[in-house]
Amino acid sequence: MARLSQKAWNNVIIFAMLAMIFMLNISSFQSDDTDLPVPIIEEGGLLLSLQIDQNIIERAGRTWRFSSSSPQANNKAVDGQAGKLAALVDNWQRALVKSQNDVTADSLQSPDVVVVLWLAGERNSLVLPIKTIQQQTYLILNNEVMLLDFPTIEQLTQW
């Protein structure tokens, strides 16, 4: 056995306790990225078309074109709405969601709004059922229920 003075043994015990405390709490020192919001449309993704219920907004050159199965909606949208359509699409490009554990997918079986996004370079569309529950907006993204963080549902569905 090593011959150490009482002062040296105290230092050994102190460092051993510090190492044990560090080992037990190492998970709290690591960054937890699950709380950070993530974009619905990945960075560099380009939105080509957007369908909100029966209303379709699609890229037409550098502008956006609106079409609907409802004649009243078509007449309403044609009257100077190009800037609002561009703002709506811009909101979708910047929309953020974050993980949550409060609401399950069963709660979104009857969504308030269904949005379909067509992205450049993607074979399939991205279908997003959206529902507002207790003033919080939830959507299903990649088979996971997410909480809409930015912008509000009104900024994503109204023009």
Report pLDDT for 36.
Answer: 82
Which residues, 6 or more positions from 90, have their beta carbon under 8 angstroms from its beta carbon?
A: none
Report pLDDT for 32.
Answer: 62
Cα 119 to the center of its chain, rounded Å: 16
Distance, CA of 53 to CA of 122 (rounded, Å)? 21
Q: Is the peptide bond before 151 cis (omega within 30 degrees of 0)?
A: yes
Q: Which residues of the chain have pLDDT under 50?
A: 74-75, 77-78
Report pLDDT for 107.
Answer: 84
The β-bridge partners of 129 are: 114
Task: Give buried/exposed letters for 46-81 (b at 16+ CB in 10 A, else e).
Answer: ebebbbbeebbbbbeeeebebebeeeeeeeebeeeb
Q: What is the value of pTM for the model shown?
A: 0.70
Report pLDDT for 31.
Answer: 64
Report pLDDT for 33.
Answer: 61
